[in-house]
Chains A and B, each alone.
Chain A
Amino acid sequence: MWPAAAAIFTSSLLSAAPAPTPAALEFFETKIRPVLAQDCYECHRTGGKRKGGLALDQRQGLLTGGDSGPAVVPGDPAASLLLQAIRHDSEDLAMPKAGAKLEPGVIADFEHWIRLGAPDPRDTPPSDAQVAADTDWDAVLRRRKAWWSFQPIAKADLGGLPAGTHPIDHLLSGKLRAVGLTRAPRADRATLIRRLSFAVRGLPPAPEEVAAFVSDPRPDAYATLVDTFLAAPRYGERWARHWMDWVRYADSHGSEGDAAIPNAWRYRDYLIRALNADVPYDQLVREHLAGDLLAKPRINHELGLNESALGTAQLRMVLHGFAPTDALEELVRFTDDQINVVSKTFLGLTVSCARCHHHKFDPISQQDYTGWYGIFTSTSPAQIAVDTPDAAEPRVRAELGATKTALRRALAQVWMDDAAALPGRLATPSPSLGKLLTAAKDPGDLLHPWFAAAQTPSRPGAVPGVLAAWRSRQAAAGLAPAPADRKRWDMTRTDDFSTWRHDGAGAVAPSAAGEFAVAVDGGQVVTGIYPAGVYSHLLSTKDRAVLLSPRFDLDGKYDLWLRLAGEGGAFARFVVQNYPREGSVYPVLKVVGARRQWLKQTLDYWQGDRIHIEVTTAADQPVLADPKAIRSWFGLSEVVITRSGDAPPVDGWEFAAPILAAAGDRPVATLEELAGVYATAATTAVAAWAEERTSDAQALWLDQLLRAGLLRNQLDELAGVRPLVTAYRAAEATLRAPTRAPGVLETGSVDAPLFARGNHKQPGTTVPRHFLDAFNPAPYRTSDSGRLALANDIVSPGQPLAARVMVNRVWHHLFARGLVATPDNFGRMGALPSHPELLDFLAAWFVEHGSSLKALIRFMVTTEAWQAASDAPAGAQEKDPDNVLLSHAPVRRLEAEAIRDALFSVAGDLQFEPAAGPPVTGKEPRRSVFLRVKRNDLDPFLAAFDAPVPAGPTGRRDVTNVPGQSLALLNNPLVRELAEHWARRVEALPTDDATRIAAMYRRAFGREPTADESRRASDFLARMASERATAEPPSASAWADLGHALFNLKEFIFLR
């Protein structure tokens, strides 16, 4: 009864108050109700959780309040707990709990509404239907889209920009003035060049550079210096590492085994080149998502690279578990990894948070997530070719083809003679043939009749016996019921082959029986004559080939049969849910054998999963690839999937067919007669081969003759064909081996099902691939995955996030703190911009200036703000203790890589060449950007100084201060060694100690030592020398101690 009584009480109370105006009610409906419904009802609803005894779904609930008293006192914002809670006045009562703080505008709305008297028409709690309408995703999306970062970029008001004032300084100065602060004066030149050198190049300035800049009288000395630094390759090495943080660069996949990502380093080199070439940012974004799909890729003629395609390697920097028994879960997880990186890095959005439900705070739906999931799963992990289009070298290929035709003609002539000479050679075999004849135990061997006859010389019937056995074997194969195929792909047929996807210059089409490959070195001419099928090496074993079957679901228990030949480490495997690694239940076939054979894999285990089949050359597996395998090949003629336990497809000893055909009905009683049959069969086959109408059986037969040495195949016995072979080999040698890099291959466009509550075992309705509902919900109707469409949407002119996010990233790295302090998150859980107008001005400026990163960096570092001294001006500590307003330059610790590079550089050990190539260990005197990033074994020195763990985007590194850092600089043997190297160089200077000391300070800190420092250093040297003199045994020099001490100074790792 109590609630009813309360309701009556409420009505009577309200009737005393003036009725709210329509405008006030309108304010409630548009500004207040949606917030209450969407952000509060979940925990504070009548009949719901009613946490703290508070219900916010009706007027009386607000007025009565909960355990802490009334939530709202109409007309009195200051006394209203609700307002205190949403303003986070106290940490004990900060609402919404575990959520983002409400936007300042919303909080202001509440304040205004309470001042209005908290007009609220809700006499009774809303019905479920009402709540559903108020919290409907469309309603939520509408409200959330109002978040600042989703608004168009505002044009900055630069009215009143004083002449000669940098627009950035102008936009910063307003807030400084407002609190009564003035900017610190410009830093001295020595400080400035050190700051600039680390910011742009990640290295300390050389003493000569400092001297030149400090004494440069030109008015544009600084601008010139900026240009010089930006133009040198060291810039790309520095900023590539920033970029690598964003895309969680790694050289391995992590987990058990920590498998390497073959060729990952090519992506790092790509970044360095791209940044040094100042490729526009929007172009880089397109390349990172779909560089392989661009109509006009960026071509690097000097290196022969399709630069654009290299960008997609970032999609492959995912973590991969080891042999997961739930393969779909693994696919969901690593696709989530891709979505997480792409959305945070390029949009500052946490799309991954919408995997199991709509985003909790941002206008991102689970449908958005699923749309992206469809895009990224419409690809297959791969090693892709990143060669220039001209690497296809059609002229060389045409020449190779023509030479092969000529070679076939020439060989056929010789082989006709060999065929005719067969009886004689078999009757009086050469020693090598004799060996083969006596070893032909296998009834499937071409020469088996001679072996059989030799075993039973007393029985002349041995010969017809063998032929009869072959005949019945063949007949049986012919009669055997065809396997109950679940699926069969006949790779000799274009129809079947075209349902597969292929990549690379090899294995591009089925070839007819009788195709052959030419040996590229050694004494042989032909390496094999093949039955019909698809072969990767008909022109060159350098050619790469990737064959991917369509994906299909295993609805029962099956066996997979592949009729394959290959050498040099080619791979065949079935791929479960795109998982690219090898593991216990992820077997891989290494194709071994130039003669084709049936290879079997059991698929029982994977019942219920989606698989495809992948056959590749040795260097072309996504993860298992052997990057050093230059030459390999495979040939595939048939793929059959049978029900588990059904009869296997049989090898019908086809090679016997030509013999049996030649024998016809003639009785063959003796070996001599059999030899005659062989000659007939061989002559027929060679003739057919010459005319390119070989049958499979004839091809196999010829191949066997070739291997038995019954057809001549050695260069030294084929003088006539030698020029052709030489020409072929010369041309083949000019073919470039493909350059490979991690990437993805398109596998068609597949919209994905929405996973209910993120549970991949509960696929729901299919969601079209699309960008984001907040910007454009239109489905992608692309025939490809949609990666290019997504990239274009991300950098489309109307889309405000990409440019804002990127200028903020650059700002963060230059000013040590972003205008948005959370560079990876521009959503509601991120920070608000400290200078929104400036952020938008920069975003617009960036786009207007061709999205040039160099121009943007130049624009920022030429501000007075950036060049300011780091001394806080009067009043700054009190009025702006965190220096958000940038009244002075921040003091900052160097990043891990800059510290390591500075150690090597100052010691004189740092080597800039090669400025590319496979990764190295931390001991190498190379820049840190070239160090291997092995996920389970990260470089301990870099890790100590906060180099990121490559698990997700890191737009802002931690700057911690742990004893491991001090211990490393104190005791790490490498640091000591570098100090000793430095000492040796210093001691070799033909000068006095004071000058040596000064040289060391110049090198380490880019400045002269003070008189005091010089004296202290001198004293220190003396003390160390005497300490060292008494040590047993006498050890390193005091100069090394001084070098080591300078490494230990905070000035070495902190920038002013």
Chain B
Amino acid sequence: MTRRDMLRRCSTGFGLMALSGLMAQKGYSATRPTLPPRLARARNVIFLYMSGGVSHLDSFDPKPLLQQLAGQPMPGKVERTMFNKNGKIFPSPFEFRRYGQSGIPISALFPRIGAACADELAVIRSMTSKVNEHAQGNYFFHTGFPTMGFPSAGAWINYGLGSENQDLPGFVVLQSGGAVAPHGGVGLFSNGFLPAQHQASIVIADAAEPVANITPRERDAVQRGRLEFVHAADAAFSRATGHDLQVEAAVKNYETAYRMQAAVPELVALSGESEATQKLYGLDDPHPQKAAYARQCLLARRLVERGVRFVELSCVNEKIGGGNAPNPWDQHGELQKGHAAMAYQVDQPIAALLTDLRQRGLLDETLVIWAGEFGRTPFSQGTNGRDHNPYGFSVWLAGGGVKGGTLYGATDDFGYHVVDKPVTVYDLWATVLHQLGLDHERLTYLSGGRNYRLTDVYGNVLHDILA
């Protein structure tokens, strides 16, 4: 096979990405980043995206001072807020407790994560974002740039590592319970300027047709009959084009598609999962949103088992206090009620996912990220909500070589601005790539005359949170 053949074939679908091993060989690397050999601690990523902006003050960053100053005006400079309805200091209505041997404080919102997994978590309390608004914040968090048009982290990672499964895409976004893409739309999961096989496939875990056009509209015998006819005719056409590589790849693509028609439903049906496992995740929960999110979590584990590189989960809307389908955590009002409902939805499924991954020996090689696009203000919006706060908030990582039981960085006594070890989105992704064996400064792609990176021109690996 000539180099040109390789170049052409690598622009084919992920069904052919078993070639990725070949392409890492010397001489073929022009299409892929040249990467130094590096020890990869993780193989897969599960991204638990808390869209809308979960409050750090009510989850992982306790601030006793807020209790003392409850109801008083916020001292000092108040940054511009999204709604400019700034109220008084608003202490968390949720009690914190210390969990695990590490004693990480976690609020009453996440008792199961606390009880089962505190010592797995590396909580970053000094996360920052450049953006104060959902869509741009979502783009920034997913791609390192605040607008559409750039590759999502999942796409970059697939570009860097390739997929391990012939029949499944390497980047999957899960939805269920009516969940939709966060503000900004499906462009958040785009391949941007990277080859299209790196874009996410959206799998709707509880839909009759979980992937667009995946369901044959006729009996298998009929479809097979059609495909046989097509195959014969295509063979002749391919000959007529001198076995043009694009044509040949398109022919093979139908085989992949045909296999996917069977593989995807099998996956989504959760076949082979015991009742105990399903119960562990909360699939039996009477709260439909929780059951829906539990389905995503269990499916995430199944995808990771099958070698899918990057799985992103989508929270389900509880319709409280400003939270809508694209941004369910966005409690500009009714924070207590809204966050309680959202946390009830995800706490058990996430705890179960971490537990299950651990029990199956998958947690070591699976990096789990829990994050929203920003945190929320220490002062109220109106009387009982919180506005967006990109100046300091909390995210956590677990598994994949992360040092569990870690607290990293700090916000001020109000939980408003970062005062210690500020972390950017670039740092976060630099760290994730590092754990996957990728150097964020060398994972580049030339587009429009410029070498782009997931981390733009920034980013430092957070070695302190790594084991």
Instruction: Please measure, in the bound complex, the distance between the C-alpha atom of A738 and the C-alpha atom of B199, giving whole angstroms.
Output: 44
Contact B449 A829 (CB under 8 A): yes
Indicate whether A13 reaches chain B with its CB closer than 8 angstroms.
no
Residues from chain B with Cβ under 8 Å of A353 in the complex: 449-450
B91 → chain A, closest Cβ, in Å? 25
Report A998-1039 CB contacts with B as 1/0, cut-off 8 Å: 000000000000001100110010011001100100010000
A residues near B449, Cβ cutoff 8 Å: 350, 353, 361-362, 822, 824-825, 827, 829-830
C-alpha spacing A882/B253, complex, angstroms? 22
Cα A1054 to Cα B243 in complex, Å, equals 13
Which residue in chain A gives the minimum CB-CB distance to B223?
A970
Please, which residues of chain B bring their CB within 8 A of the CB of A1048? 226-227, 230, 254
If the complex has contacts A970-B213, A971-B216, A1013-B233, are A962 and B196 also in contact, measured as CB distance less than 8 A?
A: yes
Residues B450 and A1054 in contact, CB atoms below 8 Å apart: no
Q: Is A936 an interface residue (CB 8 A)?
A: yes
Please state if B147 and A963 are interface contacts (CB–CB under 8 Å).
no
Complexed CA–CA distance, A825 and B256 (Å)? 35
With A585-B84, A971-B213 in contact, is A829–B12 under 8 Å at CB? no
Q: Give the docked Cα–Cα distance between A256 and B11 (Å).
A: 32
Cα distance A323–B232 when bound, in Å? 56
Which listed segment binds B: A219-227, A901-909, A952-960? Answer: A952-960
Is A92 touching B34 in the complex (CB atoms < 8 A)?
A: yes
Contacts of A830 in B (CB 8 A): 449
CB distance from B74 to the nearest CB of A (A): 15
Check B215 against A333 for contact (C-beta < 8 Å): no
Pairwise interchain contact B136-A1050, C-beta atoms closer than 8 A: no
Complex Cα distance, B149 from A258, in Å, reads 15
Interface residues of B in 1-49 (CB under 8 A from A): 2, 4, 11-15, 29-30, 34
With A91-B29, A353-B450, A605-B80 in contact, do A961 and B250 touch (Cβ < 8 Å)?
yes
Interface centre among A333, A936, A972, A1013 (most CB of B within 10 A): A936
Stretch at the interface among B62-70, B109-117, B234-242, B279-287: B234-242
Report the minimum CB–CB distance from B245 to chain A (whole Å): 9
Instruction: Give 1 or 0 for each of A317-345: 1 = CB within 8 Å of chain B CB.
Output: 00101111110000001000000000010
Check B250–A321 contact: CB distance below 8 A. Answer: no
B81-112 vs A, CB cutoff 8 Å, 1 = contact: the mask equals 11110000000000000000000000000000
Residue interface mask A963-1001, B partner, CB < 8 A = 1: 111111011110010000000000000000000000000
In the complex, B217 has a CB within 8 A of chain A: yes
User: Of residues 214 to 230 in B, which have CB atoms within 8 Å of A's CB atoms?
Assistant: 214-219, 221-223, 225-227, 229-230
Closest residue to B453 on the A side, CB-wise?
A98
A830 to B258, CA, bound (A): 39
With a cutoff of 8 Å between Cβ atoms, the chain A residues found around residue B250 in the complex are: 893, 961, 965-966, 1050, 1053-1054
> B133 interface residue, CB < 8 Å from A?
yes
B249 interfacial by beta-carbon distance below 8 Å? yes
Q: What's the tally of chain B residues with a CB closer than 8 Å to chain A?
A: 84
Whether B448 pairs with A940 at a CB distance below 8 angstroms is no
Interface size class for chain A? 35 or more
Q: Once the chains bind, are B197 and A960 in contact (CB under 8 Å)?
A: yes
Contact of B185 among A258, A872, A1054 (CB under 8 A): A258
Q: Is B305 an interface residue (CB 8 A)?
A: no
Q: Is A847 an interface residue (CB 8 A)?
A: no
Nearest chain B residue, comparing its CB with the CB of A349:
B449
User: Residues 431-467 of chain B: 1 if any A CB is under 8 Å from the residue's CB, otherwise 0?
Assistant: 0000000000000101011110000000000000000
CA distance A940 to B185 in the complex (A): 13
Q: Does A717 contact B (CB under 8 A)?
A: no
**Which residue of B15, B195, B241 has the most chain A CB atoms within 10 A of its CB atom?**
B241
Interface residue B134 (Cβ < 8 Å from any Cβ of A): yes
CB pair A960 B195 closer than 8 Å = yes
Q: Indicate if B267 sits at the interface (CB-CB under 8 A).
A: no
With known contacts A935-B148, A976-B217, A1054–B246 Cβ distance under 8 A: yes
Given contacts A319-B147, A1024-B222, contact A1050 B216 (CB under 8 A): no
- Contacting residues of chain B (193-220) with chain A, CB-CB under 8 angstroms: 195-197, 199, 201, 211-219
Residue of A325, A882, A1012 contacting most chain B CB atoms (<10 Å): A325
In the complex, B183 has a CB within 8 A of chain A:
yes
Q: When the two chains form their complex, are residues B237 and A1051 in contact, meaning their CB atoms are under 8 A apart?
A: yes
**Beta-carbon nearest neighbor of B199 in chain A:** A962
Known pairs A258-B185, A584-B82; A1028 contacts B213 (CB<8 A) = no
* B222 A958 Cβ-Cβ under 8 A: no
- Complexed CA–CA distance, A1024 and B227 (Å): 12
Q: Given A254-B148, A605-B80, decide whether A1016 and B133 contact each other with a Cβ distance below 8 A.
A: no
A937-B185 in contact (CB<8A): yes
Instruction: Provide the bound-state CA to CA distance between A371 and B72, in Å.
Output: 48
**CA of A952 to CA of B326, assembled, Å:** 25
For the complex of A and B, list the 3 residue pairs with the smallest distance between their C-beta atoms, beginning with the closest: A951-B149, A936-B185, A966-B257
Residues of A within 8 A of B (CB): 91-92, 98, 254-258, 319, 321-326, 333, 344, 350, 353, 361-362, 584-585, 605, 822, 824-825, 827, 829-830, 870-872, 877, 881-882, 891, 893, 935-938, 940, 946, 949, 951-952, 958-968, 970-973, 976, 1012-1013, 1016-1017, 1020, 1023-1024, 1027-1028, 1031, 1035, 1041, 1044-1045, 1048-1051, 1053-1054, 1056
Interface residues, chain B, with chain A CB atoms under 8 Å away: 2, 4, 11-15, 29-30, 34, 79-84, 132-136, 146-149, 169, 183-187, 190, 192, 195-197, 199, 201, 211-219, 221-223, 225-227, 229-230, 232-234, 236-238, 240-242, 244, 246-247, 249-251, 253-254, 256-258, 260-261, 326, 444, 446, 448-451
Listed by A's residue number, 23 A-B pairs whose Cβ atoms lie within 8 Å are A91-B30, A254-B187, A255-B133, A255-B184, A584-B82, A605-B84, A825-B449, A870-B242, A960-B196, A961-B13, A962-B196, A966-B257, A967-B212, A970-B254, A1012-B236, A1016-B229, A1020-B226, A1023-B225, A1027-B222, A1031-B219, A1051-B234, A1054-B241, A1054-B246
